[in-house]
Amino acid sequence: MSELRRDPITGRWTIIDMQEGPAPEPPAETETQTPGVGPQHCPFCPGHENLTPPEIYAQRQAGSAPNAGGWDVRVVPNKFPALQIEGTLSRRGFGVLDQCTGIGAHEVIIETPNHTRQTEDFTVDELLKVLEAYKARSLDLRNDARLKYSLIFKNVGTAAGATLEHAHSQLIALPIVPKRVQEELNGAERYYDFRERCVFCDMLHQELQQDERIVCENHSFVAYCPFVSRFPFETWILPKIHNVDFDATPTEALRDLSRLLKEVLERLRAALNRPSYNFMIHTAPIDSRQRDTYHWHIELIPALTRIAGFEWGTGFYINPTPPEQAADRLRGAAID
C-alpha cells in the first residue's frame, strides 16, 4: 500500500510505497520486478494471461474468452501498482505535514501479443487499436469521482525506466491534478487572459510558419522539436485543431495520430540507433473548465542525457543539441 504526501513548501505530491520489510537495495524500479524476461516467462505474452491480474479491457477476436489468448490489445491492472483503486480517499494533516491515502488507478496497456515487435513496427491499424485502448480507458476512468487526472505514458528501454521489453504503455489516474499539468494550465490561462488565444495554437502556428523545427505533419497533427526543448531530440506532437481532451479525439483523427506517431518513432530509431525514450500524453484534468485555454499534446523525450545537480537545483535544463539541429536530423533520417 502506498500513501501520497504533500510537500509543505511547494505543494508537490510524492507517492511513497509504505510496504514493510527490508529497505530495498538497490531500490526497485517502480513498475514490475521481472527485468529482461524472454517470451517464455513474459507476463504480457499470450498464454500467460494468468500471470497478470484479470483484464479490464481488451480488443479480442470474435469468440475469444476474457483472460485467454485471442486478443490484439489488452489492459490489466499493474501487478505492482503505485496507487490502488480499492479504499477510501482520505486526506489528513498533522502539524505542517499533509498526507492522503494512495487511491488511484495504475493500468498496463499491453500493445501487442507479439513479444518482440516494438510500437514503431506496428501497422497504422495496429497502433490505432492501442490509441483506442488509451481513449477507452481514459473515458471509463472519468466515471470515478475520486479521480482528477489520467496520465498515459510509455517507458521504452532501461535508461528510460522500462523493465519489460514487450511493448506496453501505462495509465496512472490520480486523485490530484499533477503539479506539472497545473503549471501548464496556469501558464496557458495567463496567456489566454492576456491575448484571448490558446498559447499552444499560437506556438504551433509560429512553428509551422517559421518551419525550422518541424519533423513531420499530416492532415490532423504536427510533430516538431520545440524551441525550448529541454532535452536533445525532444519532440512534441500536437493536434492542429484546438482540442483540450485527448479522449475527445474522433477516430479519424486518431488514425492520423497513429500514422504520425509511428513515423516519429521510426525517425527517432533511425536517427539515434534505437534510443530509450519516454512519451507522455498531456491532456486536461478530468473535471476541466479550460476548454479554451488548454490544448492536449504528446511530449516525447529520448533518454540521452542525465539529470544532475544543476537541473535538481534550478528546475532548468541544459540541452547540448539545438532543436533546429535535432529536427533537421530527424527529417533527414532514412525510414521506409
Residues 6 or more apart in contact with residue 17 via CB below 8 angstroms:
2, 82
Rounded Cα gap, residues 82 and 34, in angstroms: 16
Residue 125 or 202: which CB sits closer to a second copy?
202
For a second copy, the binding residue among 129, 154, 262, 267 (CB under 8 A) is 154
**Cβ contact 14:185 at 8 Å:** no
Position 274 contacts a second copy (CB under 8 A): no
Of 168, 282, 295, 297, which is the active-site residue? 168
- Contact between 168 and 110 under an 8 Å Cβ cutoff? The reply is yes
Q: Which is nearer to a second copy, 252 or 306 (CB)?
A: 306
Nearer to a second copy, 67 or 319 (CB): 319
Decide if residue 314 touches a second copy (CB under 8 A): yes
Q: Residue 336 contacts by C-beta under 8 Å, 6 or more apart in sequence?
A: 266
Tell me whether residue 92 is exposed, middle or buried, using C-beta atoms within 10 angstroms of its C-beta: 0 to 12, 13 to 18, 19 or more: exposed
Separation CA 336–CA 182 (nearest Å): 39
DSSP 162-192: ----S-EEEEEEESS--HHHHHHHHHHHHHH
# binding residues, a second copy (CB under 8 A): 90
User: Using CB under 8 A, which residues numbered 95 to 134 contact a second copy?
Assistant: 95-97
Rounded distance, CA 55 to CA 67, Å?
A: 6
Pick the piece of the chain touching a second copy (CB under 8 A) from 23-31, 42-50, 85-93, 123-131: 23-31
> CB under 8 Å to 27, separation ≥6 — which residues?
none
Is 334 a binder of a second copy (CB under 8 A)?
no
Q: How far apart are CA 128 and CA 95, in angstroms?
A: 49
| 150 residue type, one letter | S
Question: In this structure, what are the phi and psi dihedrals at residue 218, rounded to the nearest 5 degrees?
Answer: -140, -160
Per CB under 8 A, contacts with a second copy among 58-97 are: 82, 95-97
Can you tell me which of 57, 246, 279, 296 binds a second copy, judged by CB under 8 A?
A: 279
- Taking residues 35 to 54 in sequence order and writing x for each that binds a second copy by CB under 8 A, - otherwise, the string is --------------------
Q: Which of 56, 130, 188, 216 binds a second copy (CB under 8 A)?
A: 188
Position among 59, 84, 114, 319 found at the interface with a second copy (CB under 8 A): 319
Is residue 24 at the binding interface for a second copy, with CB under 8 A as the rule? Answer: yes
**Window of 48-56, 69-77, 254-262, 307-315 that interacts with a second copy by CB under 8 A:** 307-315
Question: Which window, 7-15, 45-53, 59-67, 250-258, contacts a second copy (CB under 8 A)?
Answer: 7-15
The nearest distance, CB 86 to a second copy, in angstroms, is 19
Closest by CA position to 182, among listed 13, 307, 7, 3? 13
Which range in 64-72, 125-133, 137-145, 272-280 contacts a second copy by CB under 8 A? 272-280
Query: Is 115 part of the annotated catalytic residue set?
Result: no
The yes or no reply on residue 18 touching a second copy (CB under 8 A) is yes
Q: Judged by CB under 8 A, which of 91, 93, 125, 183 binds a second copy?
A: 183
Using CB under 8 A as the binding rule, the residues of this chain from 285 to 304 that contact a second copy are 299, 301, 304
Among the listed ranges 54-62, 65-73, 110-118, 173-181, the one in contact with a second copy (CB under 8 A) is 173-181
Note if the bond before 26 is cis, omega within 30 degrees.
yes
What Rg do the C-alpha atoms of the chain give, in angstroms? 20
Tell me the C-alpha to C-alpha distance, in Å, between residue 12 and each of 8, 23, 279, 299, 322: 8, 24, 21, 21, 30
**Least distance to a second copy, CB of residue 26, Å:** 6
Taking CB under 8 A as the criterion, the residue among 78, 112, 155, 220 binding a second copy is 155
Cell numbers of 310, please?
A: 544543476
214: contact with a second copy by CB under 8 A: no
Catalytic residues: 168
